Amino acid sequence: MFKKNIIFYEFNHFIRSKAKLYSFVFFFLACTYSIISGFNLYNKQIKTIDEVKFVEQETIDKVTNWFKGETYGPEDRSWVDVRNPYWAIRYTPTHAYKTPSPLLPLGVGQSEQYGFYHKLSIWSSTMDSDVIEEISNFERLVNGNVDFSFLILYLLPLLLIILLYNIFGLEKDLKINNLILNQIGSYNKWIINRLIFYIFLVSSFVNILLLLVGVINQSIDSDLLKLVVLVNIYIFILFVTFYYIIKLSNSSFSIAFKMITVWLIFYVIVPGAAHQYLNLRYPTNYMTDFLDANREETYAIFKKSKEELYDDLINIYPNLKSSAHAKDSVISREIVRNGMSAIANHLNINAIEKIEIHNQKKNSLVEICYWFNPLSFFQNKWNSYTSTDYMSYKKYRDDIQQLIDNRLELLVLGTWNKEVLEIESYNKYLEKLK
């Protein structure tokens, strides 16, 4: 089956064919550029996170110095006393971070527009604008940025069409296919051996780029190996598909037409139809539940009496019943109002849960559509290995929510227990805030 002379013949044909050679070189340059752009984004995010952490630590050091110097607040704000848990937490900015995966250069996904760090305050939520903004791959092309995964999944088939369309088709066009049968003894051997050259050319090129990124970022791990396997399966499926098209076609025109038709069906029509179907079943959620919770219900919190706020906080944190403030005969308006952000957070969680359920149903339907829309399967799997898929950002949002919950619980329990912080207890707060 393996014929060296046929493979060498195809190599010489590839070198002499300017269209094929230039197309491959152009594709190689585009892939190289996309990975360089990915590294720039990766390094920018790492640098930004380091800078934010540095500023955050400076602010924490300032608060710590207030404790050490017994000033307990900024000079121009005499009402601030960081010994009070409310002010200690208000003046301790902490951030949630989504550290980019070392494989990010191989699959930017939506990471260029999704937030990768988020400053937490007592009024933060997982649906703040710097967490959820996104942009599509097609918009990224308009902006001049190219994703490596997009090139491999969407444009590699077009390159293969250019490389393979005249294999065995040219011989049929010139009516010399019977000569091949006499010399080789089998059409299949002729086709397969010529395809072997391109399989080796393309898979070697792609695998080298994948492994090169892993070596540079020192991330030769299971995710990279899974990505290598995924890409090679994808390339193999493409070659098998094109092999049968070549085998069953009568001319170069027929081969090219069928290959382009397959690309249009599985890369344009089917994904487009699936996208429309998904939007009909689960229309785009514009976070109306969340916005309503913020606009109406959150505003209503400020109009509540101290007794209503007291009851709301008890319902959210039942252990407040044993706090120092719960034992007082009079409700402190200041203490209960300091916990209003915790009530707002509770409303946000309920609203966000509806949005997440909506998104999860939509994602489940996407998975059901994999059998006739395999491109989505490969795209989502690829993004999962580079930590730029939906689940990666959901985990990031969950981490943000956990930090918000910890922050507000410290605030409410601390104020209701009438704690007076010192440097040691403040440091314990810091451990829980991060």
Q: Is residue 243 part of a domain?
A: yes
Per-residue pLDDT tens over the stretch 1-44? 556 677 787 888 899 889 999 999 999 999 999 999 999 999 99
Q: How many CB atoms lie within 10 A of CB 265?
A: 12
* 117 closest CA partner among 90, 94, 136: 94
For the segment 74-94, the average pLDDT, to the nearest whole number, is: 91
* 84 closest CA partner among 434, 429, 414: 414
Annotate 282-297 with DSSP letters as a single string. Answer: SPPP--HHHHHIIIII
Q: Is residue 28 part of a domain?
A: no
Q: Is residue 394 part of a domain?
A: no
DSSP H helices, 369-421, are 374-385, 390-416
pTM as predicted: 0.88
Say how many domains are in the chain. Answer: 1
* 306 closest CA partner among 348, 276, 335: 335
Pseudo-torsion of CA 413, 419, 422, 425, nearest 10°?
-30
Helix and strand element counts for the chain (H, E): 21, 2
Q: Is residue 335 part of a domain?
A: no
SS3 122: coil
Q: Is residue 6 part of a domain?
A: no
Q: Is residue 262 part of a domain?
A: yes
Residue 293 has a pLDDT of 64
Say which amino acid occupies 167.
I
Q: Which domain holds residue 230?
A: 153-202+211-281
Q: Is residue 216 part of a domain?
A: yes
What residues are paired with 96 via a beta bridge?
A: 118
Q: Is residue 162 part of a domain?
A: yes
Say which amino acid occupies 347.
L
Per-residue pLDDT tens over the stretch 135-161? 444 444 444 457 899 999 999 999 999
